[in-house]
Amino acid sequence: MSTTSQNSDPLPIFMGENHDFWSIKMKTYFMSQDLWDIVDSGFNNPENPTVEQLRQLKKDQQKDAKALYALQQALHDTIFPRIMGATTAREAWNTLKEEFQGNAKDSETTQDYYAKIKIIINQLRAYGENINDSRIVEKILISLPDKYDPLVTAIEQSKDLTSLSVTELIGST
């Protein structure tokens, strides 16, 4: 799904997934329109500006408005509310970057995480590796993201890890 910008160039629509791909495409678009510097660095609003600084400020504000408009057009309606209060392209870009860049593991549920681990375990077992449940439980607890540290501590203190099954562990998370 795509739409067109004021220059009839197609813009990739960000729907909340694959932020890294989308951001590369948008950066290339901004560069092609000579807008990337405004998005990346913003612009200065000098105190007591000279006439020349006022002219430059007006140009920068216009470029910023073009870039902000392009960003707004490149977002699905479910994502747009996250930046609708942004007053500059840089603010909108950074908001999206902070929320979506590299967050796939952080937003992953324990069930999703276990499903990935289960695939690896099944592959190891298919190659003849004998892996018991207590070892899998141990590996899962060690490899969980930091946000699960309090939960890991609680499980380690309240459960016997040598007899805890993987199913019971996933049910506890």
User: What angle, rounded to 10 degrees, do the helices at 51-73 and 19-32 form?
Assistant: 140
For all residues of the chain together, what is the average pLDDT?
Answer: 86
Asked if 113 and 148 touch (Cβ cutoff 8 Å), the reply is no
**pLDDT for the residue numbered 7:** 53
Q: Which residue is listed with tokens 């799904």?
A: 1
d(CA 31, CA 145): 36
Q: What is the pLDDT of residues 16-48, one digit of tens each?
A: 888 989 999 999 999 999 999 999 999 988 999
- State yes or no: pLDDT of 134 exceeds 80: yes
pTM of the full structure:
0.57
What does the domain layout of the chain look like in residue ranges? 2-102, 106-172
Specify which residues 11 forms β-bridges with: 3
d(CA 98, CA 81): 15
- State yes or no: pLDDT of 56 exceeds 50: yes
